[in-house]
């Protein structure tokens, strides 16, 4: 299955096109089962309701076109949607005491569903990524010099211990390998945050 790294979401369906909604529902069920397995293994979260909630708030599923066109459908892992849902209180894991716990759930699904070689991202990477999303500008960028302050300010808000510069740098390296962030093309002193990745199904 070939992954397409997207900069922005695909958006709404095209008008006047017939879609195979049954195929999309089958894919949703398949993904819910996969997410449940991932959360059970990585976060020890075993209930199916949580897995389904993460699918609903993180994964967008576009149905394939019906015959005769039969263009494939798309699965989109959307970090912007995930962050909004967490911030608005629409997504919360039972027992979670910090917002980056849900980000951690999304991050492990992100790496398991589309990376050939998952990197075992942890809570530190999720904390750093959450902090970057909370402090990004309108271009989805964060100045590299502001990252340490942004992360430890977020930790302080939740009465957690600060991370060292070395811990944060190691997390940033892993997030770059995960393709969640990259050096901005228009500003080398900033990180650009990737909104989503997409892959096809039929």
Query: Given a cut of 50, is residue 121 above it in pLDDT?
Result: yes
CA distance 147 to 51: 30
- pLDDT score for 1: 41
Q: 0.75 exceeded by the pTM?
A: yes
CA distance 108 to 149: 25
Query: Given a cut of 50, is residue 2 above it in pLDDT?
Result: no
> Nearest to residue 47, comparing CAs of 60, 59, 32?
32
Per the listing, tokens 């790496």 go with 111
Write the pLDDT tens digit of every residue in 24-77.
Answer: 999 999 999 999 999 999 999 999 999 999 999 999 999 999 877 778 999 999
Q: Return the SS3 of 161.
A: coil
> Nearest to residue 106, comparing CAs of 138, 76, 149?
76
The residue-averaged pLDDT of 123-131 equals 98
In the CATH hierarchy, which top-level class contains the domain 3-201? Answer: mainly alpha
The helix (run of H) or strand (run of E) holding residue 117 is none
Distances (CA, A) of 202 to 1, 2, 189: 11, 13, 41
The DSSP call for residue 69 is T
Q: What percent of the chain has pLDDT over 70?
A: 93
- pLDDT score for 99: 96
């Amino acid at each position: 299955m070939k992954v397409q790294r997207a900069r922005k979401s695909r958006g709404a369906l095209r008008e006047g096109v017939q879609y195979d909604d049954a195929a999309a529902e089958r894919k949703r069920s398949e993904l819910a089962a996969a997410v449940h397995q991932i959360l059970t293994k990585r976060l020890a979260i075993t209930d199916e309701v949580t897995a389904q909630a993460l699918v609903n708030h993180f994964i967008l599923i576009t149905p394939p076109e019906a015959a005769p066109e039969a263009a494939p459908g798309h699965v989109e892992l959307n970090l912007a949607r995930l962050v909004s849902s967490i911030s608005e209180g629409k997504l919360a894991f039972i027992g979670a005491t910090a917002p980056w716990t849900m980000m951690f759930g999304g991050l492990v699904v992100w790496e398991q569903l589309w990376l050939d070689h998952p990197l075992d991202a942890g809570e530190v990477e999720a904390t750093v990524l959450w902090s970057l999303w909370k402090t990004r500008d309108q271009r989805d960028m964060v100045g590299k010099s502001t990252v340490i302050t942004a992360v430890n300010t977020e930790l302080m808000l939740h009465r957690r211990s600060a991370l060292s510069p070395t811990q944060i740098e190691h997390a940033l390296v892993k997030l770059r390998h995960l393709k969640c962030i990259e050096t901005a093309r228009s500003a080398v002193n900033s990180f650009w945050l990737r909104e989503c990745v997409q892959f096809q199904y039929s």
